Structure 1
Amino acid sequence: MKKLPSSKKLSFSNIPLGLLLVGLAGLLIISMGIAIGVGSVPISQSTVWGVIAHKLSFSNSLPNWSIGRENIVWAVRFPRTILAAIVGATLAVVGAALQSITRNPLADPHLLGISSGAALGAIIALLHTGMILGLVTVPVFAFIGALFAMFLVLGVANFSMANSAGRLVLAGVAVAFVLTALGNLFIFMGDHRASHTVIFWMLGGLGLAQWNQLWFPFITLLLGASYLIYKARYLNAMMLGDETASTLGVPVQRFRLIVIVVCALLTGAAVAFSGVIGFVGLMVPHIVRLLVGGDYRKILPLSALLGALFLVFADIVARIIIPPEDMPIGILTGLAGGIAFVFLMRQRRNVAF
C-alpha cells in the first residue's frame, strides 16, 4: 500500500506566524467568554461582555443585569478564566523550553519533578510556615521548591553519569517520586483540619483565583516567555546538541542554567496558584511541532496560546461535567493529555521525536 504524500498531512507551516497568532488569540478570547458564561448559573454572552465592558469603562450604558450576576462574572469567573489561560500558557512554554535544553521529547515540568518540587514548597508554606512573607509566600516557596527540584535532577543525573537525554528523564521521575513522598509526609505532619484543602489543591484547581493575585503569574509569564522567545535561536541550536550549539556561538552551560532558573520560576508561579496540573507542558509543544515544524520562533508563542486555549476548555469541562461541583482540573488534563498523546505517538510512529 502506498503512503500518502506529505502534502496530505495537516500542516500550518506555510501560514505566516502573525496570522496564526491572531487566529489563536481571537479563538482564545471567544473561548474565555464562553468559559465565563458557563457554570451552575448560566450567563448569556451579552451579559458577560456587557459586565466586562462596564467594569473596564468601555461602556457608559446603564447595566441591565443583577448585582449577583455582575459579581459572578467579574469577581469569580473572569479571574478564574484569566488564571486558566496564564497557567496553560506557562506550562506549555516551560515544556517546550525543557524539551530543547534536554533534547528530550518527554521533558516537561511534571515528569522532570519541577511540579513536585513546587508543590512541596507550597505545602510547606501552607501547612507549616504560614504566610511569613505575606501574599507572595506561597509563590516564593513554590519557586524555591521548583528550583531545588531541577538542580536535584541535574545532580542525580550527574551522580549516576546519566548523560543521555532518556536517563535525564529517568532521574526526573525518580526525583519526582521522592519529592511527592516528602510532600505527602509534610501533609501528614501538618494540621489535619487543613490537609483536605491542600490535597484538593494538589489535584489542580482554579477556584481560588483572585484579582489581587493574578499580577504575579502574569508578570512572571510575560518576563519568562519574553526571554525564551528572544533566545529562540539558542533553543533551536540546543536541539542540535551541545557541541553544535557551542560552535554556533551558544554559551551552552550558562544558557542551560539560565533556562532552568526561568523554567523553575515559571513553574513555581503556576503551581502556586493552580496546584499540580500535568500533561500540558508535554502534549502542547508536540502538537505545535506537528503543525508548524521545529522552529522555536514559532513553537514558543504558539505553544503559549494553544496551552492557554487548552486549559480554558479544560476548565469549562471541569465546571459542567458534575454540576454544581467543580472537578479538579488536573484530573481532566491527565485524562485528555494521556489519550491525546497516545494518538500523537501513533500518528508519528515512524518519526523520531
Structure 2
Amino acid sequence: MIQTIWQPDTPVHAQLAALKPYLMANVKIDNAAINDRVHQLLAAGGKFLRPGFFYLFSQFGAEQDPVRLQAGAAAMELLHVATLIHDDVIDEAKERRHVTTIHQDYGQRNAIYAGDLLFTCYFDQVLIAAKTPADVKVNTAAMRAILQGELDQMAHNFKPTTTLSDYLNVAAGKTACLFSLSCEQGAHLAGASAEIAKLARQIGNRMGLAYQMLDDILDYTGDEEITHKPVLTDLKDGVYSLPLIYALQSDPTLAKLLPMPGMVISNAELLNIRDQVIALGGVTKAQQLATDYTQQALTLINRLPAGSTQQTLRSLVTQLLVRNH
C-alpha cells in the first residue's frame, strides 16, 4: 500500500505503485529466507518519501525517460532500506513496517550482510540512471556522507556536552543527505536546469533536517502503537537528540540522571528523564526549530517554477511537520 501522503490519481502515486514490483524484480538474494524477508520489507513499503520526492522534482525537467527515472527512484529507496536494516540491528528493533526484522530471526551477522547486499543493488540502479560518471560520483559522495554521519553520531554518544551544532552536523549526514540527494537527482536526471537542481538539493536538506528533528521529538512524545518504533531508544543508547540537548541547556544537572555506557536503566528512570525533558521545554524548543527549518524549505520552494508541482511540494512539506509517525 502506498502511504496516503501520496494522493491517488496522480503521476507520482502511479510511479510509486509501479516501483514496488520493479524493486522486487531487481533485488535477488540467493538465500531464500533472507530474500523473502527483504522482499516483505520492500513490499510493505513505507512513506516512500525519498523516491516520491525524486519523482516530484523530476517533473521540473523535460527529459522524462521512464527507464532512467525508475532506476533513479529505485536507487533512493534501496539506499534507504539498506540503512534501515543496519539501523534495526543497532536499535535491536523487533519490527520494521510491520515485518519482523531480519536480525530477529536470522541473527545480526546475516542482517548486516543483507543490508550490505542492498548497497550493491543500489549501485546497480545508479549505473542505469546515471547520465555520466559524475552522477555516480555524486551518489558515492552522498553514501559516504550518510555513513560518516552515523559514525559521527557514535563519537557523541553518552556525551551531555553534545551541542546543537554537533547535532545538526550528524543529522545533515545521516538523514538530510538522502533527502537532498533524492530531490536533486530527480531534477537533474530529468534534465531540469542547474538552478532548479541546486534549489532541490537545498530544499531536501532543510526538509531532511526538519524530518529528523520530528523523529527525535516523537521518540519522547510518540505512541509506539502508531510509530511502530520503541520510544526512548535513543536515550537508552546514549544518543542525545535535540529535545534532550535543549533540556540540558536549561538544566545541566539533568546530566546526572542520564545512562552511562554499560549501565542498566529501568523504564521508570527513562520515563522520569522524558518527563523532565518535556517539563524543561526541550520538546517545545525542538518543535520550534523543526518549524524554522520547514519554513526555510517552504521559502525555497517558493522560488521554484509556479504550478501544481510547486503547490504539491508546499503541501507535503507542511504535512511532514505534523505527522505522528
TM-score by length of 2: 0.28
TM-score by length of 1: 0.27
Question: Which gives a bigger RCO, structure 1 or 2 (Cα 8 Å, sep 6+)?
Answer: 1
